[in-house]
Amino acid sequence: MNEERYILFDQYLHGEMTVEEKDSFEKQLAEDHELSSEFETFKEVQLRLTTKFEHEEEREAFKANLTTISDKHFNTNKPKVVVMRPWYYAAAASIIVLFGLFFFDYNNPTFADYDNPETASFVERGDTNATLKEAQTAFNDGKYAAAIPLFEEILKENKTPEMEYFYGIALLEESKYPKAEAVFNELISGTSVYKEKAKWNLALSKLKQKKYKECKEVLQTISQDYENYDEVEHLLDELD
């Protein structure tokens, strides 16, 4: 476990980096989706801490409790002397949260709970388009990385809402968030039958990135006529 990573998050949020360090960190966030996801979790935890401990005595009680739990769950055989300002405890708390201790009822829904891509069936019997068949097979087999370039090739010649939709899902499954969200937003701005489905998948993209507030905002724009609106309601309930 890299404790320094969480201290780095805290330094970034408090504007304590040099221009070069800030640029380097933001470049890492853009390129490393796992790091970006952990950073979003850290921000969420810190926000909760900020609102939860409004008074000094509450912070002190939390720090004492954190010390006890830290001694229990982390290797303390090699003592370290670290001077930490109060909100560095947010970093320590985020480590514990990420390891599943969930101090603050941090039971948010996960992308995996709702990750049920529909089956692609855009190839008709007798269709001779080999690339189309290959893309459909790769998608339905869960080989999204292989499906993506195939969809891109198809879209150059046949840019239909259906192809864009399944392409967007493949991108989302591979955590290519900017590209996936660009596809979903284009569908949302249109009038095809994939408009509401695109909103749902845009919400799932936010959920996968642990951007819970943005996820909720997107969910609230989905029409009640959407065929799977029961899932929308369920996710909204879990986010409240």
- The predicted structure's pLDDT at residue 49: 62
Q: Are residues 200 and 167 both part of a single domain? A: yes
The tokens for 97 are: 């949260």
| Chain mean pLDDT for the chain | 81
Distance CA 208, CA 215 (A): 9
* Predicted local confidence at residue 43, as pLDDT: 79
pLDDT for the residue 230: 96
Q: Which of 64, 98, 132 corresponds to the end of one domain?
A: 98
Of residues 107 and 23, more confidently modeled: 23
* Domain assignment of residue 80, yes or no: yes
Query: Which position has the higher pLDDT, 50 or 175?
Result: 175
| pLDDT of the residue at 48 | 63
Q: Indicate whether 14 and 74 sit together in one domain.
A: yes
Residue 104 counted as domain residue: no
Domain check: are 90 and 170 in the same one? no
Maximum mean pLDDT: which of 14-23, 102-111, 172-181: 172-181
Are residues 174 and 150 both part of a single domain? yes
Domain co-membership, 171 together with 231? yes
User: Of all residues in the chain, what percent carry a pLDDT higher than 70?
Assistant: 71
DSSP state of 99: T
Among 67, 98, 129, which residue terminates a domain? 98
Q: What is the pLDDT of residues 54-64, one digit of tens each?
A: 555 555 565 55
Mean pLDDT throughout 165-174? Answer: 97
Q: Which residue has the higher pLDDT, 135 or 100?
A: 135
Residue 103 lies in a domain: no
Spatial CA neighbour of 113 closest among 240, 238, 2: 238
Supply 19's token pair. Answer: 């221009």
CA 65 vs. chain centroid, Å, equals: 29
90/119 same-domain check: no
For the segment 184-222, what is each residue's pLDDT rounded down to a tens digit?
999 999 999 999 999 999 999 999 998 999 999 999 999
Q: Indicate if 86 and 126 belong to the same structural domain.
A: no
Same domain, 116 and 220: yes
Which pLDDT does position 80 carry in this prediction?
45
Domain containing residue 181: CATH number:
1.25.40.10
The string of DSSP letters for 77-107 reads SS-------TTHHHHHHHHHHHTT--TT---
More confident residue, 112 or 108: 112
Q: Which long-range contacts (CB under 8 A, 24 or more apart) does 189-194 make?
A: 190/161, 192/161, 193/161, 194/161, 194/162, 194/164, 194/165
171: in domain: yes
105 located within any domain: no
Which of 61, 76, 98 is the endpoint of a domain? 98
Number of structural domains in the chain = 2
216 and 124 part of one domain: yes
pLDDT of 124 over the 80 cut: no
What average pLDDT does the segment 107-116 reach? 87
Q: How far apart are CA 202 and CA 171, in angstroms?
A: 11
Same domain for 227 and 119, yes or no, is: yes
Banded pLDDT at 103 (limits 50, 70, 90) = very low
pLDDT in tens, 72-98: 544 445 444 444 454 455 555 555 544
Query: Are 202 and 178 within 8 A, CB to CB?
Result: no
Domain that holds residue 77: 3-98
Does residue 131 sit in the same domain as residue 229? yes
44/93 same-domain check: yes
Q: What's the CA gap between 236 and 180, in Å, rounded?
A: 22
Task: Judge contact between 178 and 194, C-beta under 8 A.
Answer: no
pLDDT at position 74: 47
